Amino acid sequence: MDSSVRIVVKCPSDALSLTNRAVISPQDKFDKTNHVRVRNSMGEFVFTAEEHSSVKPGQVGFSLPQRKWAKLSINEKIEVSPCQFDPKKETIGVLVVEVDFLNKKSVTPESYDTKKMAVEFNQQFSRQAFTIGQQLVFDFPGRKMLGLVVKEIEAIDPASLSGKEKPKKPSKLKLGVSNPNTEVIFEKAPESSINLVGPATRSGGRQSIINPDWDFQKMGIGGLDKEFSDIFRRAFASRIFPPDLVEEMGLSHVKGILLFGPPGTGKTLMARTIGKMLNAREPQIVNGPEVLNKFVGESEANIRKLFAAAEEEQKRCGINSGLHIIIFDEIDAICKQRGTMTGGTGVHDTVVNQLLSKIDGVDQLNNILLIGMTNRRDLIDEALLRPGRLEVQMEIGLPDENGRVQIFEIYVSQMRKNGKLGEDVHVKELASVTKNYSGAEIAGLVRAAQSMAMNRVITASSKVEVNYEEAKNMRITRGDFEMAMINDIKPAFGVSSESVERYAMNGIVNWGQPVSDVLENGKLVLQQTQESNRTPLVSLLMEGPPGSGKTALAASLAAESGFPFVKVCSPEDMVGFLEGGKCNAIKKIFEDAYKSQLSCVVVDDIERLIDYVPIGPRFSNLVLQALLVLLKKNPPKGKKLMIIGTTSRRDVLEEMEMMTVFSTHIHVSNITKGEHIINVISELDSFSEDEKSTLAKKLSGKKLWIGIKKLLVLLEIVRQADMDVRIPKFLTLLEEEGGLQA
């Protein structure tokens, strides 16, 4: 059917009149479009066409509102031609319509919910052409017939989905084509008695996916710009385009996203705020444990209820169905690996099966987006993680420095606005010293600093009182944040300062060149880890006799490294663990290290970790194999890891082929010279100058073999003795301990 003359006739039926489309004969069908441009003496008008066999070739049926709008008369000759739309420029993002009763004499006081009206409007008129001033008939089920007039049209901006920049101001259109996500705004006609309730300026139905006013900072989300950008690109970009264009491309929408990462990084916060960011139907937010029910079949029924609305709408509207978002917090609670649960009920298995069938079963749904959140991705059934289900798997990691700046700005903005933030508080400085703090920990740090400031204006005597005059002038200062970091809030994936300080409790006693060499070589390895991009994994083994100070040196190097994550893996923390429990504990330490950009793990006393004893000999092969794997495993891309191991049995590690796992070895020796002991005495100030001179003469030329740890114990014993017997007592103890030979 090319451009030609047609005759205007009445619409064949009331049902066709409610479609607000021009009705044509199937023989007059257009090949490439279902929109027509009508020209008469009054101008040009665009309609969406509908085929019906009751219309004869050469005729076009119009309803009364259409004829009134286009000023068409029955049997009038009009020129009809095909009309094409550019989906990138002429797709409607926002449609503003004026609403009133169609029959002014038939009015009712009952209210009309604009939110429900918008849903119904999009279902009835998806992919339909609209023009400014166009008159429509709208049949809202169960209510009086309504008359609508198109007042304003805004084009959608597909570029807004990139998430890299805020959407541009939408352009105005004279005409365009709607889509299932068009935002419909209902406005009450002047002097109309219709009672509109609900969000009159925001329909809340299936509309433009991205709210043009979204702002991460206002929503309380910081440091997740890239993650949100990726979510928009993968999950929402395909849904912004008209369904027919998506169908032509053969494109399938993403049905599931899995957000995983350490606790406190913003996964649940994202769930709470995603409804504000999207102009879609309000998401269903479900906590995993809430689905489970003790009665047989109820857990599976709860899953089916979540998808019921989406199923009903897809059956009724097909590809024009809107997007239904279901958010599962703690999804690992119900989607554990099938066959791993103890007991005979198998409830978890059937729940997983039900969920799989709903997402991607035989009768699959294409109008849903499932967002799962967990910090234990390893627990989730692998069938749920394949493409077509939870296809996009995104790690929400610890925020970098720029992300921490954004998060701090969110939590201090109110204080700054009201003059409660001290002038010495600088957000960038706080962000630089809070390495490896999660978003939740930063929020806790701000609360702790506030409590420090409030505590200054509280007086506690016989009763607790608040000095309200001082409270008015209260400021949260830099010192409050510093005290909060020291005393209250420490990062879960930060420096394990207590264990590091415990192993290097007395500091490092530099008794001679051997210690200086160890420290110098260790610092070179630290520098390599920090600066080299070719070696993301660097491992150092400190081996030497018992008591030579290996653990203290390793802990000291780790503490001085300045790495945001430092953890000690010690046999002391695993007393009583079975083999499996010990392997899991060691594995968790390394997995925590992988979450940080720069990490250091001290694996202390390796022969004790693997339960080696010379009697037998006996050791734990399970723990040994776990260590061999973890010590050689490279951290994830973009992360760096340094491992410092210590052992007193180099021969044992050589037999077990562990020596080759470490990239470099450093020998830590015992004290072998008398001047080394004098250096220790001088540094600790254990004897007077005369006593040191006497000891230097007696120890000159003597052979020694004693560890620094044992020597420090002997010096503390001698310190308690009387002045006149300290030197002979010290020499006797050295001989008895085998550290002094003639």
> Which positions are annotated as active-site residues?
550-551, 604-605, 632, 709
Which position has the token pair 């994994």?
537
- Helix H, strand E, coil C: the string for 388-434 is CCCCEEEECCCCCHHHHHHHHHHHHHHHHHCCCECCCCCHHHHHHHC
DSSP string computed for 240-290: SS-HHHHHHHT-----EEEEE-STTSSHHHHHHHHHHHB-SSPPEEEEHHH
Contact at 8 Å (CB) between 173 and 101?
no
Q: Is 254 helix (H, G, I), strand (E, B) or coil?
A: coil
Q: Of 409, 471, 417, 392, whose CA–CA distance to 446 is shortest?
A: 409
φ, ψ for residue 236 (rounded to 5)? -110, -20
Give the relative orientation of helices 689-699 and 674-684 as an angle to the nearest 10 degrees. 170
Distances, alpha carbon 612 to alpha carbons 7, 48, 491, 577, in Å: 98, 82, 34, 15
Question: Cα-flanking dihedrals φ and ψ of residue 562, to 5°?
Answer: 75, 10
SS3 of 568, please? strand
725 phi and psi angles, rounded to 5 deg: -115, 5
Other CB atoms within 10 A of residue 668 CB: 23
**Are the beta carbons of 679 and 575 closer than 8 angstroms?**
no
Phi, psi at residue 160, to the nearest 5°? -65, -15
CA dist., res. 525 & res. 519, Å (int): 10
d(CA 428, CA 426): 6
One-letter amino acid at 197 equals: V
Q: What phi and psi values does residue 314 have, to the nearest 5 degrees?
A: -70, -35
SS3 content of the chain, % helix, strand, coil (to 5): 40, 20, 40
Residues found in the chain? 742
Is 700 in a helix, a strand, or coil?
Answer: coil
Please name the residue ranges forming H helices in 13-107: 14-17, 64-70
* Distance of alpha carbon 438 from alpha carbon 57, whole angstroms: 69
> Residue 595: left if φ>0, alpha if ψ -120 to 50, beta else—which one?
alpha
How far is residue 594 CA from its own chain's centroid?
16
Q: Of 22, 151, 174, whose CA–CA distance to 89 is shortest?
A: 174
Alpha-carbon torsion angle 203, 205, 211, 215, nearest 10? 90
